[in-house]
Amino acid sequence: MQAFHHGDSLRHDPDRYFRRGAIISHPEQAERYRLLLEATQDGRHLLREAGDAGLDPILAVHDAGYVAFLRDVWARRAELPGIEDEILTGHFARPQMHRRPEGLLGLIGLYTADTSTPVRAGTWAAVYGSAQVAIAAADAALSESHAYALCRPPGHHAYADSAGGFCYLNNSAIAAERLRATTGGRVAILDIDVHHGNGTQGIFYGRGDVLTVSVHADPADYFPYFAGYADETGAGPGEGFNRNLPLPQGSGDAAWLAAIREGLSAIASITPTALVVALGLDASADDPIGALKVTTRGFQEAAALIADAQLPTAIVQEGGYLCPALPRNLAAFLAGFDGRRM
C-alpha cells in the first residue's frame, strides 16, 4: 500500500492539557507520529512524503478567515503579554454570541472550542503538512485503488471554522472533497474513530454529494457530547446523507463490526465513486482515552470488510493514543486491507 506522511507533523508538540481541573500530559503527542510511521515502515508499505498541493483544497472545506487565523496567530503572540510556548484561551464563543472580535484573545475563543487545541510555534506547519498528506492519499486512491494517510495532528473534530478535540484542519473532509471534485460523483466517509466525527458531520451536513457515516461510542456521556446521535440525518439537500451509529461504552468486536457492516450497506446504497475511511485506532480496548473494547483482530476484520466494498479508498489517520497496541493495531488494519486488495 502507498502510505503518505509529512515530517512537519513533529513540529506540533503539545506536552500538557488542562482537563477536568488538572494539568495532565497531552494525549496527542508527536510520539504518535513516530510510532505510526515505524509501524508503516515495518509493514513494508511504500512510504512517501506528501508534496504541496497548496491552500485551495483546504479552502474548499474551511473558512478562509479561520485558515488565515491558524496561519498567522503565532506571529501575533506579542499581542498577549505572558505568552511563552503556546497560545490558549479560557473564553469561548457560544451560539448566542454573534460579533466577531478583533483582539487576538477573542479570536482564539471564536476559532477554537476547548483547551485541547493550543497553538504553538510549529502548529501551522504541522496541520498544513497533515492536510497535504490527506490530499496526496486521496489522489493516490484514485490511481492505485487505495492509500494510507499518516495524518498527525488528526482532523475529524475540526469544523469549517473551528478547531477542537486535538484537531485543526479536517483531513478526512479535505480528502473527501478532493475525491468528489476529481470524480464528479458522490463520495462517502466512514469514520470508525471511538469519538464521533462531529466536525466532518458539520462540514457536510447540508450536502447531498457526500455521505458521512460515523461508528462511535455513545456521546450521551462521552466526547463530543453535543453531536453524534442517531437522529442527526442531515439537513436540506443533505437529508439522509448523515448516519450516526452510536454504540454503548464497552462494546467489543461483535457490535463494532456489525455497525461497520450497517454503515457499509448505507454507503453501497448511494453508489459512491470513492471512500474515505477516518481511521481512529482509539476504539481499541487498550487505548488510554477510548471507551470501546475492539481487539487487534477486530481492526483486521474491519479492514477486510471495508476493502471488500471495492471502492477507491483513502485511509486517513485520526485518533489512537500512546499505548503498546497502537502500532500493532495500525499494522493489523493495513495488512487486513491489503490482504483483500492484493
Q: Which of 136, 161, 112, 156 minimizes the C-alpha distance to 318?
A: 156
- Record the cell numbers describing residue 180, joined without a space: 468528489
Secondary structure (DSSP) of 249-315: TT-BHHHHHHHHHHHHHHHHHT--SEEEEEE-GGGBTT-TT--SBB-HHHHHHHHHHHHTT---EEE
Burial 54-79 (b: 16+ CB within 10 A, else e): eeebbeebbeeebbebbeebbeebee
- Does residue 224 have a cis bond before it (omega within 30 degrees)? yes
With a CB cutoff of 8 Å and minimum separation 6, the contacts of 289 are: 27, 282, 321
Q: Give yes or no for a contact between 218 and 248, defined as CB atoms under 8 angstroms apart.
A: yes
Place of cell 468528489: 180
Contacts of the segment 56-60: beta carbons below 8 A, 24+ positions apart = 57/131, 57/135, 57/174, 57/177, 57/178, 58/128, 58/131, 58/169, 58/174, 60/174, 60/177, 60/178, 60/181
Place of cell 481511521: 279
Alpha carbon distance 319, 167 (integer Å): 10
With a CB cutoff of 8 Å and minimum separation 6, the contacts of 68 are: none
User: Which of these is catalytic: 157, 195, 196, 216?
Assistant: 157
Alpha carbon distance 331, 287 (integer Å): 15
Sign of the torsion angle spanned by Cα atoms 175, 57, 168, 198 = negative
At 206, which amino acid appears? G
157 an active-site residue? Answer: yes
State the catalytic residues: 157
